[in-house]
Structure formats: structure tokens, C-alpha cells
């Protein structure tokens, strides 16, 4: 799968990854930020991003499986 296609098909996962990366960079640049808080944010952002993307994929699958008005009329 091409990287561009992956980004287009998984925007929520990408957003979760980017926010997690930002949290890690901030924790690295500012040592006064508690490491535990940064790690907790990273894990929750990745987990919630994955959950949200799966829900979005499920909604798309259901919508694509629903017959259209024209299909019902036939």
C-alpha cells in the first residue's frame, strides 16, 4: 500500500500518531514534564485513535452495504 493511500484511508490513525509524536518530543525537550504523563498521553492517544478509526471504517462498511434508493425500487 502506498503511503499516500494509507494517509487518505486512515486519517484518524495518522492524527493519533502525530499527537503522540508531539507529546514525546515535548517530553524530550522539556525534562520538567513528567515522563509518566507523556507516556500515558501517548498510549491513550494511540489507543483512542485506533478505536476511532475502526469505528469510522465500520460505519463506511455499513454505509456501502446499504442498498441505494434505485436498488430498492428494482
Domain spans, the chain: 3-66
Q: What is the pLDDT of residue 67?
A: 83
pLDDT tens-digit readout, 11-24: 888 888 888 888 88
Q: What is the pLDDT of residue 4?
A: 86
Burial of 5 (0-12, 13-18, 19+ CB in 10 A): exposed
Q: What is the pLDDT of residue 1?
A: 63
pLDDT tens-digit readout, 23-62: 888 888 998 988 888 888 888 888 988 898 899 889 989 9
Rounded Cα distance between 11 and 72, Å, is 32
Q: What is the pLDDT of residue 74?
A: 61
Amino acid at each position: 500500500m502506498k503511503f499516500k493511500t494509507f494517509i487518505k484511508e486512515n486519517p484518524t490513525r495518522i492524527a493519533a500518531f502525530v499527537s503522540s509524536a508531539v507529546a514525546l518530543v515535548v517530553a524530550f525537550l522539556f525534562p520538567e514534564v513528567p515522563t509518566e504523563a507523556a507516556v500515558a498521553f501517548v498510549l491513550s492517544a494511540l489507543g483512542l485513535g485506533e478505536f476511532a478509526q475502526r469505528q469510522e471504517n465500520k460505519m463506511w462498511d455499513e454505509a456501502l452495504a446499504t442498498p441505494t434508493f434505485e436498488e430498492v425500487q428494482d
